[in-house]
Structure 1
Amino acid sequence: MQQNKQNGLIWAVGIEDTFIGQTARGERPLDEFELTQHYRFWREDLDRVRASGASMIRYGIPWYRVEPADGVYDWNWTDQVMAYFAEHRELVPIVDLMHYGTPLWLKNEFMNARYPELVARYAAAFAERYRHVARFYTPLNEPWVNAEWCGWSGKWPPYLKGQLGFALVLNQLCKGIVLTVRALKQLQPEAVMVHVEASKKYVPADPSFADQARFWNELRYAMWELVQGRVGHGHTLYEWMLDRHIGEPDLRWYAANRIELDWVGINYYPQFSVNVIDRQVVEEDKIPEPVPGTVEDMKDIARDIYRRYGKPVFITETSYNGSVDERVAWLEEVARASRELLEEGVDLYGVTWFPFFDMADWPYRTNGLPLRDNMATFGLYTLEEQPDGTLRRVKNAAAHRFEAEAKKTKA
């Protein structure tokens, strides 16, 4: 990838690709490609990405669609998209193999005992078919958020609750990541794994919670620590894991099957990524609430991760849910901060504006409101609903600012 890293920074985008197809509790499916009409306008959307100057794109594969039955694959739509990337080599995909959802036939979803082997089997099937096009992969997007929504808050399948549920789901996800990486590397040794996590920062509500906040700032690295086989006697997270049924056999399995990180992906949103540790979190098992964050918090996270792992860092998601002016201001802050991190010596490969166009906010799944009332305004393109229901892509000022940064990097 070194040849694409011009003047020290890659500018990338991503298309929101959450795929939760199950509706067992009466929810609506949350398939972002369907809701934003990307299945319909995928070619035009990718043309717009190319025109933006982005040299990479995080791009999701809807597992639940491509494997509609156990071991049966339907690559019809994916063939078309991957052929596009083969034709336009200047836009390099980071293939997002797993973005929250499982196939509809997989009973108990992530808690199915076969999940780790099945997700690796699917990844291998993808690589067998498309390794002539794809080299960069995210084995699983945001294990923390995945485990939180599926295992702690119980909002998504398999609807577990509390820190125990969180840990049980996280363990399954991490085993799936390890097996996926091993399968991909066996088929494609040159493949680069972009391990993407919701890079949290925890702050104490007051000085009495300082020790707890320090612990949470270790816990946020649980996925990276597990998959590298680092958790054992004496590790900060050892007792926490054992108390939540990630036992000695699990930890020995991770040590025996440890993987190396290639790139470390940081997802940072100033409205969601900084969270407060208070009495309810410590005493009542409450999920920490977000507080406003800054670009300096993002820099702190990037520095800490680079110091800890010594691997190339990629800001794999960032944006601002708000007005176009707010998005422009945030993009400018991120561009400045990224240059400062490079000057400090952090091996920062790139920045990803995510999502490229507006998205359906996740509460759409349960709140019953029409799509127009569930739009999250993150995008470089605004989605405007037309009288016939078509979502028109309207370029906004943030897109022009992004293009200026991308052009500056390539100059």
Structure 2
Amino acid sequence: MKLENEFTWAVGIEDTFVTQVERGERPLDEYTLTQHYQNWKEDLDLARKSGATMIRYGIPWYKVEKEEGEFDWRWVDQVMDYFRENKELVPIIDLMHYGTPHWLKNEFSNGRYPDCVANYAKAFAERYSDIVTHYTPLNEPYVNAEFCGLNGVWPPYQTGLQGFYHLIIQLGKGIIKTISAIKSIDSNAAMVHVDATKKYVTEDDALQTETDLWNENRFVMWELLNGQISEEHSLFGLMMQYGVTPEQLEWFQHNNCQFDIVGINYYPQFSVHEVRRDKHGFITYPHILGTGEEMKDIIREAERRYKAPIMITETSFRGSETERIDWLDESAEACFSLRKEGVNVIGYTWFPFFDLVDWEYRTSGKSAEEELMPFGLYTLEMDEHGKLVRNENRVGQRFKEWTKDR
């Protein structure tokens, strides 16, 4: 299956793997917390029945390669055999969804990270290239750099814009080398470059320059991978100020990649920010509720820049079933409105397929059941035997209606 101009419906299973616990946190492995490791076949069967023909699906690198260079594919083999036997559900494989193996000290800031992740990617492609045709080399590099390099929430716990851009460079090198490794095995493999999207707005004319800068910075990884950041680029000075060197940017200019598919992750509750000053005079960037119109603006801008097909690779709404249905309708209608404009939107992914465990679980002390977040087409509910049962909700029923209608 090659995504081109047809419209594809997809779902995704939340697959964050941040399992280092040196600072007293609990491991965050969504497959463990949502019991997907045990119930993977049921989950994939339900995904097939949803009307989706693609699924974003992650591989737990930290489990596959517990010791450097030694790969244990036993659990992954089962899942890949399922995809081999059920070709109507095509996986977009998330090779990297945040976490690294424990043997890679200093995680993403380790100078060996780009080569290590590429070696893992090559081993995966060597084993499964007969099944897998679409890859996401690394999910949401912006959020990865934000949590690991800007805010110090996840390893390697760096902070500030210097940490952010250091991680952007490291992750970007990892993406480029991952693509090269996969292409050495399967030159026809399609790369779905997925990142979180943002839009910044302000009502304060004095903050328009700041707003414009952040509206450029939201595209930093795509610009970097595309080899676009040079002395003439609006981000060049800022990146130099916070530790990036011209030589690092030149590496990307010489090793740039083109995008097969630009994956847009848009959440109305998290993707739009207002730039304002607080009562103490500090600039802040609080979330404000976004709409389908903001999503359309982001998509138009991405297509203008990268001239590649656009896929909504994540969207959903945290809230009641009615609120989720409203957003499903609004966001799907936005996609078809753009297609009528001539914008090449080729797919839509509801993510997560079933409810997820809040990332705050790492430090909250609450149980996984207490941290369940209402996002999914299926609701997770604990039964008397301790199993998280998957129950289709009204959002899932509405999703099926969309997949049948279009």
Q: Which amino acid aligns with 2:20?
A: Q
Aligned counterparts of 2:184 and 2:75: Cα–Cα separation in 1: 26
Name which of 123, 127, 130 aligns with 1:129.
Answer: 127
What is aligned with 1:394?
Answer: 391
Asked whether the equivalents of residues 162 and 285 of structure 1 are also in contact (C-alpha less than 8 Å), the reply is: no
1:184 corresponds in structure 2 to 182
Give the letter aligned to residue 339 of structure 2: L
Q: Which runs of 5+ in 2 are unaligned?
A: none
Between the two proteins, the alignment pairs up a number of residues equal to 405
**Equivalent residue letter for 1:66:** V
SS in structure 1 opposite 2:178?
helix
> Deviation above 4 Å: which 4+ runs of structure 1?
283-286
Matched, 1:295 2:288: no
**Counterpart residue number, 1:197:** 195
| Contact 1:380/1:395, CA 8 A, preserved across alignment | yes
Q: State whether residues 154 and 160 of structure 1, in contact with CA within 8 Å, keep that contact through their aligned partners in structure 2.
A: yes
Aligned residue type for 2:212: R
Q: 2:308 aligned with 1:311, yes or no?
A: yes
Q: Secondary structure of the residue that 1:58 maps to in structure 2?
A: strand
Superposition RMSD in Å:
1.5
- 1:5-404 matches, within 5 Å, as 8-279=6-277, 288-404=285-401
The residue type equivalent to 2:318 in the other structure is N
The alpha carbon displacement at 1:5 in A equals 6.3
**Cα shift at 1:387:** 2.2
* CA positional deviation for 1:289: 2.3
> Structure 1, unaligned stretches of length 5 or more?
none
Name the CA distance, whole Å, in 1 between partners of 2:230 and 2:67. 38
Q: One-letter code of the match for 1:144?
A: Y
Q: CA deviation digits over 1:293-343, x for unaligned, max 9?
A: 111110110011011111000000000000011111111111211110100
| Cα drift, residue 100 of structure 1 | 0.3
Counterpart amino acid of residue 183 in structure 1: A
Letter in 1 for 2:348: V
**CA distance in structure 1 between the partners assigned to 2:373 and 2:4 by the alignment:** 31
Shift of 1:82: 0.3
Change (3 A) 1:210 1:181: same
Query: Is the partner of 1:406 in helix, strand or coil?
Result: helix
Is contact 2:276–2:283 with CA below 8 Å preserved after alignment?
no
Contact 1:124 1:184 in 2 (8 A): yes
Secondary structure of the residue aligned to 2:259 is: coil
Matching residue's letter, 2:23: R
C-alpha distance in 2, partners of 1:285/1:370? Answer: 36
CA distance in 1, matches of 2:275, 2:179: 33
The answer to whether residue 401 in structure 2 is matched with residue 407 in structure 1 is: no
Which amino acid is the alignment partner of residue 101 of structure 1?
G
TM-score in terms of structure 2 length:
0.97
Q: Quick check: 1:12–1:353 contact (8 Å CA) kept in 2?
A: yes
Task: From the superposition, tell whether residues 226 and 373 of structure 1 become closer, same or farther in structure 2 (CA, over 3 Å).
Answer: same
Q: How far apart in 2 are the matches of 1:74 and 1:186?
A: 22
Whichever structure has more helix as a proportion of its residues is 1
Q: What's the CA shift for 1:260? A: 1.1
Identity of aligned residues (%): 53
Aligned-partner SS, 2:347: strand
Change (3 A) 1:50 1:318: same
Q: 1:142 touches 1:197 (CA, 8 Å); kept in 2?
A: yes
TM-score by structure 1 length?
A: 0.96
Cα distance in 1 between the residues matched to 2:295 and 2:234: 23
Q: Is the 8 A contact 1:204 1:212 kept in 2?
A: no
Partners in 1 of 2:393 and 2:326 — Cα distance? 13
Retained in 1: the 8 A contact 2:275–2:283? no
User: What letter matches 2:206 in structure 1?
Assistant: S
- How far 1:229 moved relative to its partner? 1.2
Per-residue CA deviations over 1:188-216 (Å, capped at 9, x if unaligned) read 11000000010111112522211211111
